Amino acid sequence: MIFDRRTFLKLMGTGALLNLIPQIVLADTAASPAQNIQLTEAITTLIGDLEIGLDLRRMNPDSTEQFRIQTHADELYPVASSFKCFLVLYYFWNTPQAEWQFGEDTPIRSVAVFSNNVQTGFVLDEVGRRIDYYGNAIQKFNDFLLFTLGLTNGMYSWNWPNTPTQGYADDRYAPSSTRFVQHRGAAVPMDNLFTTTEFADFYARLLQPDPFPDYPDSQAAVAATLELLSIPAESYESPFERTFGVPYTGKDGVLPASDSAIGRVINDAGILPINGTNYVCSFMCAGEGEFLGLNILREIAALLEDFEAQNSE
């Protein structure tokens, strides 16, 4: 049985895919502990002391985690546009389903697929107005990250010009002596910092058959989120798309050197299919340069291809 990409993601988001697993390429290829250790050593050695955070998880066919590989996974890194994956779920979560608008040329689709920064501010403002408790649009969004998704970090501001969120901030996440980026031995204060583990936790949770059991209406929001985050942008490839060469579900983010105190930032996170096995991967490269960052990802992609090939024999 062959599914197009959109149908596959819808089924995965609703949990219906679990009933179809024997018919599609999601066979369990459990590796030996020694093979897992070899893969871990190869990837951690590859990254070494580079300012790169990684959280990589191999998922079983039932969407439970088989193992994970982490480097600098709990360090803070500039998020760039990767946080917009949370915003997509936030929109569907807090908008009545009858009012969802995510077709062509809609704001939330523009945010998810094309990373439109102006529309990001308008979506934050629109959804914030639907929530009747105290706080500005940034604070309300962060409360969703904190209390619903269980994240530790949040956005300090979204000061994009000509957007309704310009001038709003959440002082809980202001740059400080405890909120900074470690870069080449220096503590560099920066806005909007997250960890790679938070993104891996998010995407791994979306893969679960019932990711939010306390919220019975959440599965439709999760399915719509997965659908939007699986649509590739025209004339643009994310770091994962450029290096793994496979369609994926996720959201990348890039900060040019001119907008960053530490140089160019390259982030990507999402769900990657490798030889029929789902991996959740979160990657944040802080100031190491695009050439190096992409080469590291290509090496990881090759290691995972070899690992899956060895364990499918």
User: What pLDDT does 313 receive?
Assistant: 60
Question: Do residues 269 and 288 make contact, with C-beta atoms less than 8 angstroms apart?
Answer: no
Indicate yes or no: pTM above 0.85. yes
Domain boundaries, the chain: 5-311
pLDDT, tens digit, for every residue of 265-311?
999 999 999 999 999 999 999 999 999 999 999 999 999 999 999 88
- CB atoms closer than 10 angstroms to residue 263: 18
* Residue from 287, 305, 301 nearest 72 by CA: 287
271 in helix, strand or coil? strand
Model confidence at 31, pLDDT cuts 50, 70, 90, reads low
pLDDT, tens digit, for every residue of 139-198?
999 999 999 999 999 999 999 999 999 999 999 999 998 999 988 888 999 999 999 999
CATH superfamily of 5-311: DD-peptidase/beta-lactamase superfamily (3.40.710.10)
Question: Do residues 208 and 217 make contact, with C-beta atoms less than 8 angstroms apart?
Answer: no
pLDDT, tens digit, for every residue of 213-232?
999 889 999 999 999 999 99
* Residue from 112, 121, 119 nearest 251 by CA: 112
Quote the longest CA-to-CA distance of the chain.
Answer: 57
User: What pLDDT does 231 receive?
Assistant: 98
